[in-house]
Structure 1
Amino acid sequence: MTTAFLTKTSVLAACLLGAATPAFAQQASGPPVPIDRNVLHVQVILDHLGFGPGVLDGRGGQSLVAALKGFQEAKGLPITGKSDPQTMRALYPYRAARPTVTIALTPDMLAGPFVNPLPKDPAKQAELPSLGYRTVMEKLGEMFHTTPAVIMALNAPGTRLAPGTKVVFPNALPSSRAYDEKLTPEWRATLTMLNVDATQPQADHVVVDKSDSVLRVLDKNDKLIAQFSATMGSSHDPLPLGTWTIKGADYNPKFHFNPALFWDAKKGQQKEMLPPGPNGPVGVVWLDLSKPHYGIHGTPSPETIGRAESHGCIRLTNWDAARLSMMVKPGTKAKFQA
């Protein structure tokens, strides 16, 4: 097998080699992306408030517009989808959530396992112990709700991926990590790694709105309390309209690949049980729905949320899917509408 599976020990050993320690530029492809820090500040505040703007990248786009509309609705403001003066005044009390934070890298932040290259063939994926991140930079991107390109743009390309190195990240740090002790240690570790806040509002029901490409979280008074950009359905697998029930959550799930359920499966592919991992087909969490074979789940490609198609299910970024899992419970209604 050509896939390289790097353990925590091997990553730390590499970090101790000095000159052999990789730099940002070695793990982030493409040129640095332009970042507007004022836009990044708005994104960070919205992310902290539960109106997920997708990837924190300091750039405008449909996910930021949707997040602003959600925030404006929740605050009773004119719904413009813009950072207009009224909206900026409403965001001002939350300005303490600064746009960036500087953190010294720790061994845990740099630890794998890593799988690079990650095979696309489900049969090859099934042979792996996990579907982990490809690189340290990919892991750091998810930790701080961004991408390797954004991290590189905020830092010098030669910055070393070594313990103690100070790195500037988008400020996705939570206010609390006091997670429910009933959750497994493994899932609490995932929540910690993804910087998911332990304090979340509780949903009465959720609405998946195809026209806006968002998942809306509402309380018993039908008030919007959180919102996330989402990918849902396609021409081959349309969103199953109607009202369903969230049956439960599977944390860090394995994935049963059944080619009979995938229109784009290749001829000759067999059923496979894929190992868990953030780069698995459903990311770090699966919220099972009463509609057979459908769920709300994470994704290995956060930058595609709201832009790509799905096989009928509802995909969120891994950090938003993890956050949503703390807002819902078995029996929570999920309405899917056009």
Structure 2
Amino acid sequence: MGEINSARFTMQMPASLADVPAVPPSAVPAGATPAPSNLDPGFNPEPPPAGQTPTEATAPQSARFDAGMVRIQVLLDRAHFSPGVIDGYDGGNVRKAVSAYQEANSLPVNGVAGDALLTRLEQSDASPALVAYVLTAEDVAGPFVDVPRDLEAMSRLQRVGYEAAEEAVAEKFHMDEHLLRTLNPGADFSRAGTEIVVANGGGELTAQVASIEVDVAEGIVRAFDASNQLVAFYPATIGSGDAPAPLGEHTVRGVAFDPTYRYDPARLPSFGQRNHGALDIAAGPNNPVGAVWIALSADTYGIHGAPNPSQVSKTQSHGCIRLTNWDAVELGRAVRPGVPVAIRESSVAQRATGRG
């Protein structure tokens, strides 16, 4: 297969809405660890139904995309070295995940998604990259909403849900919406029983996370088990020049799935929307903290999901650490209160001399 070239993906991506700045809830119950059942009913990071063995699905002949890159992204995602959104592009998030996987598996670290990487990935997981999936009644039920960008207007919604079934299904399978539509031209995403082709991403992280390392310069989050083995890797949006992430040693204070969130302009003056008082914004995958909030001991800061997965690690936040919804859910399920979180400007020097 050789080196993957993003130019081979010829479908043009649609322009994305500006990323909604992330602001943490002002109060998260200390020590709370809600069960996964508290997730949005339309959000399920697992691929095809339990008990069914996924079978290889074939993309339509008219769909032009880099199948090799999609396969590498899927296998990285399944190995918990997240490439961010699965979109068929060899971008910065893919190269970060590739480099991390190469380092963890004693391969030459060059960020190149080529034959050696694919061979090693397939030795660990031979699952197909694309599988057939039949839309369920739950997938198409909604309710779907037009999500405003203005926080005051957003606060009037009863739930900040998905805007369409395509968005819900794409997020369910860790995909870019444009790739989902490319694979399924003419598909009716509003009708239960429609058979479509999806990325076979996901898979449960069985390891317990004992420590987390946030690298601000690289825009990445690493999760380690009790023996200091890297068990998960995520691209992240981490702070900004005006609102940097809180460097130093912190701990996980609690985890809230499907969180509501409170914006108080008095506590976050850099946010910019100050023509109103405090706002309570309903839960839902498209609220500013997404599907999960992992509260840190640094007051008002946390690790959380994002309403625009394609923008993760490509925009700025208001000091927090933003992951895709599915990566944040995976991490949230694997941590407990008290887990140490080190936020560093760069972790390269620490890792070169041994973590500590």
TM-score of the aligned structures, taking structure 1 as reference length: 0.80
One-letter code aligned to 2:84: G
**Partner Cα distance (1:222, 1:66) in 2:** 20
More helix by share: 1
CA separation of 1:122 and 1:229: change in aligned 2, threshold 3 A: same
Other-structure match for 1:248: 254
Q: Which residue of 2 aligns with 1:225?
A: 231
Q: What's the offset of the Cα at 1:127?
A: 1.8
Separation in 1, partners of 2:265, 2:178: 34
State yes or no: 1:268 paired with 2:297. no
Offset at 1:72? 1.2
* 1:86-101 correspondence to structure 2 within 5 Å: 86-101=116-131
Identity level (%): 35
One-letter identity of the residue aligned with 2:177? P
Residue aligning to 1:105: 135
**Count of residue correspondences:** 284
Specify the alignment match of 2:191 in structure 1: 162
Within 5 A, what are the aligned runs for 1:47-62? Answer: 47-62=77-92
Are 1:114 and 1:132, in contact at CA under 8 Å, matched by a contact in 2?
yes
Match of 2:349 in 1: none
Per-residue CA distance 1:141-182 (angstroms, 9 max, x = gap): 1111112211111111354531111101111253xxxxxxxx
Q: CA deviation at 1:113?
A: 1.6
* 1:65 to 1:156, Cα distance in 2 relative to 1, 3 A: same
Q: Which residue matches 1:214?
A: 220
Does the CA contact (< 8 Å) of 1:200 and 1:323 recur in 2? no
Q: Does 1:284 align with 2:313?
A: no
Does structure 2 retain, via aligned residues, the 8 Å contact 1:35–1:57?
A: no
Q: Could you tell me whether the CA contact under 8 Å between 1:201 and 1:327 is conserved in 2? A: yes
The residue matched to 1:92 in structure 2 has which SS?
helix
Q: Corresponding residue for 1:193? A: none
Q: Which residue of 2 aligns with 1:5?
A: none
Tell me if structure 2 keeps the 8 A contact 1:283–1:299: yes
Deviations 1:263-311 (A, max 9, x none): 1323422101111000001001100000011000001010000100000
What is the CA distance between 1:224 and its match in structure 2? 1.3
Q: Which residue of 2 aligns with 1:146?
A: 175
The 1:146/1:105 distance shift into structure 2, 3 A limit, reads same
Does residue 37 of structure 1 match 2:67?
A: yes
Q: Of 311, 314, 323, which aligns to 2:321?
A: 314
CA 1:158–1:89 in structure 2 vs 1: closer, same or farther (change >3 Å)? closer
Letter in 2 for 1:315: R
**Residues 63 and 183 of structure 2 are in contact (CA less than 8 Å); yes or no, is this contact kept in structure 1?**
no
- Any gaps of 5 or more consecutive residues in structure 1? 1-7, 9-31, 175-196
Secondary structure of the equivalent of 1:259?
coil
One-letter code of the match for 1:237?
A
Does the 8 A contact of 2:133 with 2:196 survive in 1? yes
Q: Does 1:203 align with 2:232?
A: no
CA contact (8 A) 2:80 2:232 kept: yes
Once the two structures are TM-superposed, the CA of residue 211 in structure 1 deviates from its matched residue by 2.0
Q: Match for residue 126 of structure 1?
A: 155
Q: Is the 8 A contact 1:248 1:330 kept in 2?
A: yes
Q: Which runs of 5+ in 2 are unaligned?
A: 1-40, 42-61, 346-356
When residues 95 and 220 of structure 1 are mapped into structure 2, their CA distance, relative to the original with a 3 A threshold, is: closer
3-state secondary structure, aligned to 2:145? strand
Alpha-carbon distance in 2 for matches of 1:330, 1:34: 46
Q: For 1:246 and 1:172, locate their aligned partners in 2 and report how far apart those are by CA, in whole Å.
A: 27
- Contact 1:33–1:150, Cα closer than 8 Å, also in 2: no
CA–CA separation in structure 2 for the residues paired with 1:95 and 1:133? 31
1:72 equivalent in structure 2: 102
User: Counterpart of 1:279 in 2: which secondary structure?
Assistant: coil
The alignment's TM-score, normalised by the length of structure 2, stands at: 0.76
Deviation of residue 249 (structure 1)? 0.3
CA contact under 8 A between 2:140 and 2:189: conserved in structure 1? no
Deviations 1:50-81 (CA, angstroms, capped at 9, x unpaired): 00000111110010001111111221222111
